[in-house]
Amino acid sequence: MRMRLRPGALVGLSLVACSALTNLSELATIDADAGDAGDAAPTGGFKSPEAWSTFDVASVTPAAGFAGAAFDGRYLYLAPVNYVVVRYDTQAPFGSTSSWAVAPSVAQGPFAGTAFDGRFVYFIPTASSSGVNDGVVRFDTQAAFDVATSWSVFHTATINPNAKGFWGGVFDGRFLYLAPYTNTGNASDGVVARYDTQGSFTTAWDTFDTTAVNAGAQGFTGAIFDGHYVYFVPYVNASAAPDGVVARYDTDGGFDAGDAWTTFDTTSLSGQPRGFGGGAYDGRYLYLAPYIASPDGVVARYDTKAAFGAPAAWSTFDLSVINAYASQLSAPAFDGRYVYFARYTTGVAGAGIISRYDTASSSFGAQTAWDTFDTTTVNPSAARFSGGAFDGRYVYFIPAASGVVARFDAVNPPSLPTLPGWHGSFF
């Protein structure tokens, strides 16, 4: 069965977060519960059109369709499915074309996801209709954006012929992990590529095949770091069917040691959630956003303070009870209090629906803890997103098929969550 590739979805996906740091020596790991970071008051109501704005990247470049974004403390980088990387200066007016810049041709997609390690931004190669990409592109944030020498490329297939076609990744403070999606374009795979950022970009790589731990652990869309463990978000299995096998790596163990890896199948939970489009971490809980299951609106949540393999550590919520169009979700974003789930849909109806969960709620299953907003009421073209990113004040929703970025004014005064310094929830 041929795998259906998503031409502009992300995960992650997930994605890596930073605390507006400029180098690794400034890394501070803070263990905080989700509710501790949500004291800053939002500037406008979630349903208030005045709190939303949009910008069409097509006014800067013909690029259309992005698969994720990263924030480096000042700039927001959009990972293109086609064409080249686009960057926005968050200290400049959102609606001005002069605030946006286009990278040189070396930063050519297809990419799915980004990661930031305190100095370098990485663009993660994926599979598309044009083939399976293995070229990890890296930008030095201490150099000029529009100069080709600021960019470098490493081909992961040189260390393992099956290390290619990733979807999302995450940084843990030292290592960069690339989540395996498909190495052929036709079937999923489990070959994780890992880069030691303290070594040479061209040599400090190794790989691990998650199917050695569980044959069903393959075909991921993103990775999440909680300060100790790296989680790989399941999408499809070898038969291209929606999958629920989450793979978890203990960063205290050897990367190639089987006992450092464990798995959990979310299909054992109520609603059988599976086929996820990405995940987020809020300081305690992990959230997995459903994309291609049936039903495809069942969010899975894991309590990282409980045993990974215990079903009681997991809970689910079916978003369809809130909004019939709250389904087919991409990588979530976290702003310190709320988790945002953007819709990535191949259809037209409800393509602008953003769902939001209040982590201050005492119950994950309480309908009052959830809300939705339709971005097409602000701009009819603001729809179908591949994920979200947070810069300390604004949450950005990244267009999967068009060039229209939607932005929500979420937190004022600006405040980044007091989470572990590196994680996969916001960028």
* Residue 197 pLDDT: 97
Q: How far apart are CA 119 and CA 150, in angstroms?
A: 12
Q: What is the mean pLDDT of residues 211-235?
A: 95
Return the minimum-mean-pLDDT range out of 23-27, 157-161, 182-186, 219-223: 23-27
pLDDT exceeds cutoff 80 at 21: no
Listed residue (237, 333, 316, 229) closest to 278, CA to CA: 333
Domains of the chain, by residue range, sit at: 24-409
Contact call for residues 154 and 62 (beta carbons, < 8 A): no
Q: What length does the chain have?
A: 427
pLDDT of residue 58: 93
Beta bridge partners of 306: none
The Cα 267–Cα 290 span in angstroms is 12
Distance CA 237, CA 240 (A): 5
Structure tokens at 186: 């036709």
DSSP E strands: which ranges in 351-403? 353-358, 370-374, 385-390, 394-399
Nearest C-alpha neighbor of 357 from the set 406, 301, 411, 413: 301
* 72-122: pLDDT as tens digits: 999 999 999 988 999 999 999 999 999 999 999 998 889 999 999 999 999
Q: How many CB atoms lie within 10 A of CB 193?
A: 27
Dist CA 230 CA 215 (whole Å)? 19
R_g (Cα) of the chain, nearest Å: 19
Amino acid at 332: P
Average of per-residue pLDDT values in the chain: 87
Q: What is the pLDDT of residue 44?
A: 60
Contact between 423 and 108 (Cβ < 8 Å): no
Q: For the ranges 36-40, 283-287, 293-297, 387-391, which has the lowest average pLDDT?
A: 36-40
- Cβ burial of 162 (10 Å; 0-12, 13-18, 19+) is middle
pLDDT of 399 higher than 90: yes
Residue 16 reports pLDDT greater than 80: no
Q: Counting runs of H as helices and runs of E as strands, what totals does the chain give?
A: 0, 30
In this model, does residue 38 exceed pLDDT 50? no
pLDDT value at position 416? 83
Token pair, residue 225, equals: 């770091």
Adjacency order of strands within the sheet including 333-334: 333-334, 338-342, 353-358, 370-374
Confidence band, pLDDT 50/70/90 cuts, at residue 421: low
- pLDDT beyond 60 at 31: no
pLDDT at 42: 53
Q: For residues 411 and 38, what is the distance between their CA atoms, to the nearest angstrom?
A: 9
Helix (H) or strand (E) holding 298: strand 298-303
Higher pLDDT among residues 300 and 1, named by residue: 300
Asked whether the beta carbons of 231 and 266 are under 8 A apart, the reply is no
Gap between the terminal Cα atoms of the chain: 35
Do residues 360 and 334 touch, judged by C-beta distance below 8 A?
A: no
What's the pLDDT score for residue 419?
Answer: 67
How many CB atoms lie under 10 A from the CB of residue 41? 10
The pLDDT tens digits for 114-155 are: 999 999 999 999 998 778 999 999 999 999 999 999 999 999
Structure token digits, residue 395 = 């949450």
The residues pairing with 347 across neighbouring beta strands, listed in sequence order, are: none
**Model confidence, pTM:** 0.90
Cis check for the bond before 295: say yes or no (omega within 30 of 0).
yes
Confirm if 337 and 314 have CB atoms less than 8 A apart. Answer: no
Contact 78, 86 (CB under 8 A): yes
- pLDDT on residue 350: 87
Amino acid at 209: D
CATH superfamily of this structure's domain 24-409 = YVTN repeat-like/Quinoprotein amine dehydrogenase (2.130.10.10)
Contacts 24+ apart (CB under 8 A), 96-101: 97/59, 97/60, 100/55, 100/57, 100/60, 101/60, 101/145, 101/146
- The owner of tokens 């959009």 is 78
- What pLDDT is attached to residue 417? 81
